[in-house]
Amino acid sequence: MAGQRAYRIDVHRHYFPSFLVGDAREGSAIDGLRVEGDVVMHRQGYNYPLDAEFHDIEAMVGSLDAGEVDHAVMSVAPTLYFYNAAPAEAVAFCRRTNDWIVKSGAELGGRVSGMANLPMQDPDAATVELRRCVEELGIRSAQIGTDIEGVPLDDPRYESFFAVADELGAVFLLHPYFVGPRPGFEDFYMTNLVGLPLSTTMAAARLFYSGFFARHGVRFVLVHGGGYMPYKIGRLDRGYDVRPESSSMSDRRPSGWLDHVYYDTLTHNAKALRFLIDLAGADHVLFGTDLPFDMTDPEQERVIDELPAEVGRKVWGENAMDLLGIAVPSAD
């Protein structure tokens, strides 16, 4: 475990609840999901390997140990949002999912905790489930999409949801998702490589320009190093300065709202990660791997270890402890 090194908390790690594996093999899963052999197959036509560490708790622990990770804050694979499903079906699935990760965390002796999965296509139901997760299950964070089936997070229909999130002190991990190839992105795996960071950038820009943060104190963690946003914040500010369309709803430039957003370390480039820490501040960057998916970054641990010790401790785990309320287990 930790020894003398910094305590390591992975805030961006995914799971696939074991009950869903059983449902999918039996043909009774939500949205027609199937598992054949070790492959997850969505009715929209895309699939991916079902690695054991997605759903088997012993394999989860083995993966944590192999990466010298002390604690993982687990969120569902974004393909399991099911925002397209009927609200009642989505509500039932989210409740089962959230109960499963809490139970699994208890069985793993505190090595794992969960982020809530919410039926965001129904804002009222999402509000009820968020409150249940915070007040009854002890889950203080949730993973949600960068949009909800094309509806942006700053849409008025989500105002009451985020008002309750303010009240509860909830933190949101914004993770893009897709349900098949996007037009113009079909080749070279660009739906993922280019499309997902672009979705995060779009979501962040809308939150900045819409005045969302003047209405809500909600804090967001942006995965994949914040998409392209950190590296184009100057362009976003310039638009605010010279374009009335960009400044009509917010009383601050986009860079004036950066204290509301956090980032994971998944930049896949040492210089980019160092730039991100310099831009955002060492208090706003958190270690994340995106495992078990193959778009993890196996080199980032070396980069974090090369940071000044005080900065490294913050990125490895102290920021996650502060933001998400994770306690380090007693040495006793």
142 is a domain residue: yes
332 is a domain residue: no
DSSP-based helix, strand, coil % in the chain, nearest 5 = 50, 15, 35
What's the domain count of the chain?
1
Question: DSSP assignment of 225-242, as one string?
Answer: GGTTGGGGHHHHHHHHHH
1 is a domain residue: no
Encoding tokens for residue 45? 């036509």
**Cα of 18 vs its chain's centroid, Å:** 20
44 is a domain residue: yes
The helices-and-strands tally (H runs, E runs) of the chain is 15, 14
330 is a domain residue: no
Instruction: Assess whether pLDDT exceeds 50 at residue 1.
Output: no
Alpha-carbon gap, residue 83 to 101, rounded angstroms: 20
> Is the link from the previous residue into 292 a cis peptide, with omega within 30 of 0?
yes
pTM of the model: 0.94
Give the model's confidence band at 189: pLDDT under 50 very low, under 70 low, under 90 confident, else very high: confident
Encoding tokens for residue 294? 């193959």
> How high is the pLDDT of residue 139?
96
Can you give the residue range of the structural domain that contains 278?
9-324
Encoding tokens for residue 191? 């739906």
Give the model's confidence band at 2: pLDDT under 50 very low, under 70 low, under 90 confident, else very high: very low
122 is a domain residue: yes
Q: Which amino acid is at 332?
A: D
Cα pseudo-dihedral 57, 61, 67, 72, rounded to 10: 70
Stretch 20-30: mean pLDDT, rounded?
Answer: 94
C-alpha separations of 71 from 9, 16, 108, 281 in Å: 5, 18, 10, 23
Q: DSSP letter at 315?
A: I
52 is a domain residue: yes
Per-residue model confidence as pLDDT tens digits over 115-151: 999 999 999 999 999 999 999 999 999 999 999 999 9
300 is a domain residue: yes
Give me the residues paired with residue 264 across strands.
286
The CATH number given to whatever domain includes residue 308 is 3.20.20.140
Stretch 249-256: mean pLDDT, rounded?
Answer: 96
Report residue 35: phi and psi, to 5°: -125, 120
